[in-house]
Structure 1
Amino acid sequence: MPHLIILDASHNQLTDFFGFQPPKNLKEVNFSHNQMSVMKELSAYSTLTKLNLDYNSFSAIRGLEKCKRLSHLSLAHNNISRIRGLDHLPLRKLCLRGNVIQKTENLQTLCNLQFLDLSCNRIQSLSGLQNLHLLGNINLESNLIGEVKEAAYLHDLILLREMNLLRNPVQDQDDYRLAVIFLLQHIVLLDQHTVTAEEKVSAVNKYDPPLEVIAARDHMTHLVYHLMQPQVIFDSTLPSLDAPYPMLVLTGPQACGKRELAHKLCQEFSDYFAYGACHTTRGPYYGEEDGSDYHFVTEEEFQNMIQMGQFVQTMQYGGHWYGLSRETIERVAREGLACCVHMELEGVYSLKNSYFEPRYVLLIPTVVDNYVCFLKARGFYSNAQMETAVSRIDLYTKINRESPGFFDSVIPCDDRAEAYRTLKQLVKEYLGLEEHVGGSESSSITPDNTSTNATGELLPTNTTEATDLMDSYSRNYQNKIQAKMTPQQTPAEMTSNHIRQQLIREALSGKSPGAYAELFQRSAPTAPSSLPSQSQPLPGPSSSPMRPVGLSGPDPDEDSSSEESRASSGLSMRSSAGALSAESPARGSDAGSGHNIEPLDMSMLGQDRDSYRGHTDSGLTPDAPRSVSERVSPTLPSSPGRPGANVKPVLPPIPSGRKTNDSGSKQ
């Protein structure tokens, strides 16, 4: 039969291996389920492509060296103990299932191998499979693999898509599946179950989380622990309800000059900034002072602070913990200043998850050799630490390139003096402190937003330019928050949120009416019985240029639109202290009758502030009995229960640069 191509002699009792003259064109042979025990030389079968010798008694592989076209070989369920005799064969599929193989050896020359079945053997290690770069499917079911790290030998096999490790001891380990998926991130089928995208993300987040994930977890930890503590209104939230508390963050690689520039900046701009010292578990370097450069604490103290919710952000670098505590920020905020801190990139990611919106300035070395020389000159760092610091330069550069806007500004720090001049100019532009020179006299903007000439005389100046940056910062912050809220809200929800936010602003700024003030907004106030006779004329806008402080009576010159806005809001203009207020609503049948308000007893406006405080400090409550004049008087004190009502505002906007003095705080 010279033209025979396929020969199937399976399920017989053959004991002789190819005991006939081979046809020249024979390609596929099936001798499975017979009684053969020894393989003979097959050099004459040059055209053979598939050979099936399953369920026989072979103990060794031999005689296949001349089969240069053999692509499929199956020797399942024999007595083979070692893999050999397959060197440089063009095999694409190899099945050695059900033997007694203990090592994956002598397979590195099978460059075309795509499918490998080694199930039901005694294999403990996968160290011989790392060079099979075309391998796409491997079956290792029912072996003795006990360590997840063995999968690391397959890490570089980027075409590997399917893997079976069922019934191996390794499956008893915790998170075994996620660990294997992490080591083999190209795999799509593990243990006959599809690998989902969620599992791949979970594996990466568990064993090698990116900086964003680490920062998010730290922020979640701090937030949970903070909510477990008694809640208070922080000083850093009170100065402005439309813009976040101003902070300046200097970041960059290790020993790039962040701390030195931060200290120098806070010394020169002491009316605006104060240095915020972070906590750390590392020991102090030479020249560092506790409380001035860092707060040096033990590992146990640091963990206790985390559990007490005292940190805004934490990070790990070089085996040590670093953290910015909430009290550090509050201590600076109570002084009426902005907080200036420095931190590594991990700290920036963590702080970006908080409600703070700092300005981030990146200090980056551009000449690596000079940076390495500086690290060596300090003498604090080992070779490994210096290599890590140098490698992080590329990390900062990559983030700045791939994430525009991640840093607000980038400053080269090879020359520390030049870097500080650039930083100083940047801060001046941010604060609106640019010097203006004109003619023979020069004027500069002082911290209180007034101008002085060469003789020291105060000159009027337009504060709009000085506050443009702060206003734009506030608008950008509001737009960002609104952009986050808009897609998920209906117009009714947006209107409701706007009203609630307005009420919160008024409550925190001391402009909201007291709990009992709403009683006098339901109808026009009437004159008390102690008013003088109506024959005495009352001073009005037409008869007197002066108007009572703290009252917002109707102005006949105002247009109807402003009148309607006041009537719809139900709010009146109050004094700067929020102590005196009067309502003039038009409700019910009087809503369209113009300025129809009963005359007030002007004698009551003559009371001095001390007598007014006597009423508010007398312990009266909304439910306490009052006199007739007190019940009907539209002149009402603000709510005594507002947090911080008796404290002077301590943090004006940064462009003003005013630092709260001790006398003001006492008042």
Structure 2
Amino acid sequence: MEIAGELTEDEVFKCLSGLGQSATGLQHTYLCLSAPGRDLKNVSILCNYIYLQKLELPYNKIKDLSCVSHMPYLITLDASHNQLTDFFGFQPPKNLKEVNFSHNQMTAMKDLSAYSSLTKLILDHNSFSVIRGLEKCKRLSHLSLAHNNISRIRGLDHLPLRELCLAGNMINKIENLQTLHNLQVLDLSCNRIQSLTGLQNLRFLGTVNLESNLITEIKEAAHLHDLILLREINLLKNPVQDHDDYRIAVIFLLQHLILLDKQTVTAEEKVAAVNKYDPPLEVVAARDHMTHLVYQLMQPQVIFDSTLPSLDAPYPMLVLTGPQACGKRELAHKLCQEFSDYFAYGACHTTRGPYFGEEDGLDYHFVTEEEFHNMIQMGQFIQTMQYGGHWYGLSRESIERVAREGLACCVHMELEGVFSLKNSYFEPRYVLLIPSVVDNYVLFLKARGFYSNAQMETAVSRIDLYARINRERPGFFDSIIPCDDRAEAYRSLKQLVKEYLGLEEHSGGGDSSSITPDNTSTNTTGELPAASATESTDLMDSYSRNYQKKIQANMTPQRTEMASNHRRLQQIREALSGKSPGAYAELFQRSVPAAPSSLASQSHPPAGPSSSPVRPAGLSAPNLSEDSSSEESRASSGLSMRSSAGVFSAESPARGSDAGSGPNIEPLDISMLGQDRDSLRGLTPDAPRPASDRVSPTHPSSPGRPGANVKPVLPPIPSGRKTNDSGSKQ
């Protein structure tokens, strides 16, 4: 008579499958039995089937599994969705590897030391509150205790787990997982976790499910930043999703992700995340340039002094760059002092406070952050950057103040500023000052006493950044100078600047070469010396070779050049006679021009028998060849003409005294200008003149402009005005 819920022989025959050799290999038998959903309560008949290797009895009402004690070869056991209360209530089969006791009524775990072969254990939907008894399961790789009453993670030390599921419990904190070195998949969904700390040491972790927890801060994802194998994370139904740009921020912190919240992470999202939170220097520089360009275009447009010297050549600048406290500022000041006829220091603006010994307006312009941002919105900056929590910026006025003096601008800045400046139309020479001995650099930083340990670590780390940029971007810096020894660094910088400027010692003998106003070494025929050109070409980069070609092309007189110069002369005559107060007249009024000695010879001297009118040297017929005429026609730029205007100015110190107290200067007859360029060229301060016509025998002669001998040079620097200004005050 059949009893309800009892497994019979006939049902067993229907459920057997997998005919094969027994574990002993002596006979053929059925190895698998599967009887799901039969409302079975008694399966004691299975004690006779000792050769079974796989037993599946899910969705029944079984309360006793003691029959398993008679199955020594059993490998897989599935008794899920039953009414079991006894945890492993049978003698352990020697080779039992996989057990599924989910959806039962178990309340406590016991020692499983006898189950040394166990690799997979599923205990979901029971009533366990504490994890215990697994210490000896040295082969256990998969453990699932989802939807139990577990409140703390413990009892898992040093297990070889690769997958761990603790979803649906009451866990508040991720703890005691640091010894699970092989863990790859972790499911902690539906818990009460607020922080992701505790996961940072799981270096093989690839998938994390944290859905339906209490994570509120995006920064918690930073705990997973170093998990380079992490490919999937689920933070759905967490308060953190309410943050703006939540997805982009998490993708930025975890850049190896493939899936976030069950959605594929695209390449566009990764690029957007990097550009938003840690953009490359090029992106920062591009944004910086666009910002300042837009704000500048919103302001009234004017012609800048830095663009007047030559419309086809960039304004000359020298930029010293390098890590913090590498000596950029000190060397820049020293260079500007020694080469004061060529360079002036351009002070940047900053929101940081002054260090000991720094002066406002001399080293930096120290402003508040509000003032700094107001200047940005007024379009007053060429480039800005943020470093160490402070803003730094190079203003347009800093450069224009130097340009009005007819000098080149020397500035210093960090690497971010260099990237930004390279986007502008300026083309400076960039000199990298970099420490070569890190220990000495650290000692110097400590000796200054200005920096915290974090600041010094940042400064040291940036040495590698500068070195990497130089290595990966050949030609990014024009020159590199080690700055361990400041004195030696300055000697190298000084020699480099001399080469840039083309400052050479010239013999006073019968040397046929001379320094022209454009500072190009030429002979009497107006051509570049062949030997010098060949030698320098080997040393120049592509930029310098192009510059040499431009010089040689400009030395050849052209019809368009003659017509252009004629138009310029006509405009100057009209401006001087008051007929056309245009750009040239305004140009003459921008600064106090110097009075050449030729004008003094033209004025009426005090009464005396020996006084007689003398024709100005510029209006006499100078002995200039046509080659020199074409050569000097290249000097007719805005600044050089402005210097020339000084000869016509009524503000010249040659006036000597007020009206009525002394002789006045006779008005200059415009007709005396003549009809050719030589009449005007003779009056330019840059043009050579006899010693008798100079302002003072003791006045130093104007040094040559940068670019001599066709070496790697700065663009032409207009010279003479600052020297003449100082001479006029003597």
Q: Provide TM-score, normalisation by structure 1.
A: 0.69
Deviations, residues 73-96 of structure 1 (Å, cap 9, x unaligned): 222222222223323322221222
1:650 correspondence with 2:638:
yes
Name 2:720's counterpart in structure 1.
659
Kindly provide the CA deviation profile for residues 96-126 of structure 1, in whole angstroms up to 9, marking residues without a partner as x.
2222222222322222221111111222223
Q: Does 1:578 align with 2:544?
A: no
- Look at both structures and tell me which one has the larger radius of gyration over its CA atoms: 2
- Offset of residue 148 of structure 1: 2.3
The residue aligned with 1:416 is 486
Cα distance, 1:472 vs structure 2: 6.2
Residues 1:46 and 2:116 are matched in the alignment? yes
| Deviation of the 1:300 alpha carbon | 2.6
Q: Which residue of 1 aligns with 2:373?
A: 303
Alignment of 1:241-320 (within 5 A): 241-320=311-390
Which among 340, 345, 351 is matched to residue 415 of structure 2? 345
Partner SS, residue 578 of structure 1 = helix
Equivalent residue in structure 2 for 1:193, among 247, 263, 280: 263
The counterpart of 1:91, out of the listed 161, 165, 185, is 161
The CA distance in 2 between the partners of 1:119 and 1:131, in whole Å, is: 20
* 1:362 Cα deviation after fit: 1.3
Which SS does the other structure have where 2:286 is aligned? helix
Structure 1 residues 572, 441: CA separation in 2 closer, same or farther (over 3 Å shift)? Answer: closer
Q: Is contact 1:450–1:460 with CA below 8 Å preserved after alignment?
A: no
C-alpha contact 2:113 2:134 (8 A) present in aligned 1: yes
Letter in 2 for 1:298: T
Describe the superposition over 1:276-331 as per-residue Cα deviations: whole angstroms up to 9, x where unpaired: 22222334445444333333333332221111000001123344322111122222
* CA-CA distance at 1:414 after TM superposition: 3.3
Match of 1:115 in 2: 185
Closer, same or farther: CA 252–281 of 1 in aligned 2, 3 Å = same
Is it true that 1:331 corresponds to 2:401 in the alignment? yes
- For residue 169 of structure 1, what is the aligned residue in structure 2? 239
In 2: Cα distance, 1:376 partner to 1:413 partner: 17
Distance in 2 of aligned mates of 1:265 and 1:379: 26
- Of 25, 33, 38, the residue aligned with 2:95 is 25
Could you say which residue in structure 1 is the equivalent of 2:203? 133
Question: Is the contact between residue 123 and residue 143 of structure 1 (CA under 8 Å) also seen in structure 2?
Answer: yes
Question: More deviation in 310-319 or 415-424?
Answer: 415-424
Structure 2's unaligned 5+ residue stretches are 1-49, 51-70, 550-556, 589-636, 641-704, 708-715, 726-730
Give the corresponding residue for 1:82. 152
Percent identity among equivalent residues?
78
Give the counterpart of 2:472 among 390, 402, 411.
Answer: 402
Q: Which amino acid aligns with 2:182?
A: N
Change (3 A) 1:85 1:279: closer
Q: Specify whether residues 451 and 240 from structure 1 end up closer, same or farther in structure 2 by C-alpha distance, changes over 3 A only.
A: closer
Aligned to 1:533: none
Aligned length: 523
* 1:102 alignment partner in structure 2: 172
Letter in 2 for 1:102: N
When structure 1 is superposed on structure 2, of 113-122 and 172-181 the one drifting more is 172-181
Pair 180,239 (structure 1): closer, same or farther in 2 beyond 3 Å? same
User: Aligned AA for 2:366?
Assistant: F
Q: Tell me, what secondary structure is at the counterpart of 2:77?
A: strand
SS in 2 for 1:11: coil
Matched, 1:159 2:229: yes
Per-residue CA distance 1:338-357 (angstroms, 9 max, x = gap): 21112222221221121211
What does 1:225-240 align with in structure 2 at a 5 Å threshold? 225-240=295-310
Structure 1 residues 147 and 317, CA gap change in structure 2 (3 angstroms): closer
For residue 517 of structure 2, what is the aligned residue in structure 1?
448
Tell me: CA distance 1:203–1:338, structure 2 relative to 1, closer, same or farther (3 Å). same
SS in 2 for 1:295: strand
Query: How has the CA–CA distance of structure 1 residues 650 and 291 changed in structure 2, closer, same or farther, with 3 Å as cutoff?
Result: farther
Cα distance in structure 1, aligned partners of 2:219 and 2:518 = 65
Q: Is 2:202–2:227's contact at 8 Å kept on the other side of the alignment?
A: yes
Return 653-662 or 218-227, whichever deviates more. 653-662
For residues 164 and 324 of structure 2, the distance between their equivalents in structure 1, rounded to whole angstroms, comes to: 53
Note closer, same or farther for the CA distance 1:269–1:64 as it changes in structure 2 (3 Å cut): closer
Asked whether the 8 Å contact 1:115–1:138 carries over to 2, the reply is yes
Contact kept, 8 Å, 2:435 with 2:482, in 1: the verdict is yes
Give 1:227 deviation, angstroms.
1.4
User: Is the 2:575–2:585 Cα contact (8 Å) retained in structure 1?
Assistant: no
2:517 alignment partner AA: D
User: Partner of 1:537 in structure 2?
Assistant: none
Q: Does 1:206 align with 2:276?
A: yes
For each residue in 1:16-49, what CA deviation from the matched residue of structure 2 results, as whole angstroms up to 9, or x when unmatched? 3333334333322222223333334433333222
Amino acid paired to 2:333: H
| Greater mean deviation of Cα atoms: 210-219 or 67-76 | 210-219
| Distance apart, 1:152 and its partner CA | 2.6
- State whether structure 2 residue 76 is matched by structure 1 residue 12: no
CA distance in 2, matches of 1:21, 1:258: 80
Give CA deviations for 1:598-652 in whole Å, capped at 9, x if unaligned. xxxxxxxxxx9979998x93xxxxxxxxxxxxxxxxxxxxxx7985586464346
Structure 1 residues 463 and 274 mapped into 2: Cα distance closer, same or farther (>3 Å)? farther
Shift in Å, 1:474: 7.1
Change (3 A) 1:268 1:60: closer
Shift of 1:163: 0.8
**Structure-2 change in CA distance of 1:326 and 1:67 (3 Å):** same
Whole-Å separation in 1 of the counterparts to 2:149 and 2:158: 23
Counterpart amino acid of 2:719? R
Please say if residues 514 and 523 of structure 2, whose CA atoms lie closer than 8 Å, have aligned partners that are also in contact.
Answer: no
TM-superposed deviation, 1:249: 0.7
Aligned to 2:528: 464
The secondary structure found in structure 1 opposite 2:319 is: strand
Hey, what's the Cα distance between the residues in 1 that align with 2:519 and 2:125? 98
Q: Secondary structure at the match of 2:720?
A: coil
- Identify if the C-alpha distance between structure 1 residues 462 and 391 changes in structure 2 by more than 3 Å, giving closer, same or farther: farther
Question: Structure 1 pair 460/284, CA: closer, same or farther in 2 (3 Å)?
Answer: farther
Shift in alpha-carbon separation, 1:471–1:115, aligned structure 2, 3 A: closer
